[in-house]
Amino acid sequence: MEVPGQVSAATGPIRGVGYAAISIQPGKTRVQKQLMAIRASRLAAMRELAEKIYGLDINSYSSLSETVMQSDTLRGTVSGLVRSARTVSIGPIKTDIYETILEIDAVDAASMTSNRAPTPR
């Protein structure tokens, strides 16, 4: 079983998938927006990969006043060094969405987590 932050060399490859919409990207032409979407989906995939390798640090704050809920916030942060992530595929999956799939061998991920503890902030 894949446990974020406790990657074992015995598990299979770890995959990160990222998506990005084309139409909301900055750019004067559609091609520029497509390029931005490709990059954005890659970054999203990298982030998911980092989350799977190092785990996610969750901080939550809820406040009550007079037994009435005032606010409820939740912050999740991820931070880590990733090496040897290879691109499995990049491509449009619908007319307006790009998908990027990255992959890293569990052995490499295990070595990264053993060499350096995750430092989420």
Partner 1 sequence: MRYRFVMALAIVSLIPVGSADAGTRLIHAIGRAAVAGKDITAARKSALAEALYDAAGQVRMVVRGSSFMSDAGAIHEESGIAVSGSLKGYQVVDERREGDHYIVSIDALAETDDGECQTAKKGDIAIGGIAIRVAPGLNGAVERQAREGVDALIGVLKERPTIHLIDDRRYHPVARTSSTVGQNMTYLAALAGHSTNPGAYTLSGSISFKRVHADTVVVGESSIEVTADLQLVDNVSGAVKESFSEHTTLALDKHLWGTSISLPQDSETSLDGLWQTIADKLADHVGCSSLRAVVTAVSGNRATLSAGSVNGIKPGDFFLVELPSQDRNSWQLIRVESAGASQSVARLMKPKPAVPPNSVAVLLQ
Decide if residue 82 touches partner 1 (CB under 8 A). yes
| Residue 97 is a binding residue for partner 1 (CB under 8 A) | no
For the segment 19-78, give every residue that binds partner 1 (CB under 8 A). Answer: 29-31, 34-35, 38-39, 42-44, 46-47, 49-51, 71-78
Least Cα distance to 46 among 96, 8, 6, 84 occurs for: 84
Element of type H or E holding 17: strand 14-21
Measured from the CB atom, is 3 or 116 closer to partner 1?
116
Q: Say how far apart CA 117 and CA 87 lie, in whole Å.
A: 25
Q: How far is the CB of 1 from partner 1 (least distance, A)?
A: 23
Integer angstrom CA distances of residue 64 from 19, 61, 71, 74, 75: 37, 10, 7, 15, 18
At a CB cut-off of 8 Å and minimum separation 6, what does 48 contact?
Answer: 16, 17, 18
Tell me the closest approach of the beta carbon of residue 12 to partner 1, in angstroms.
Answer: 19
Q: How far is the CB of 18 from partner 1 (least distance, A)?
A: 9
Please report, as ranges, the residues that interact with partner 1 according to CB under 8 A.
Answer: 29-31, 34-35, 38-39, 42-44, 46-47, 49-51, 71-87, 90-91, 111, 115, 121
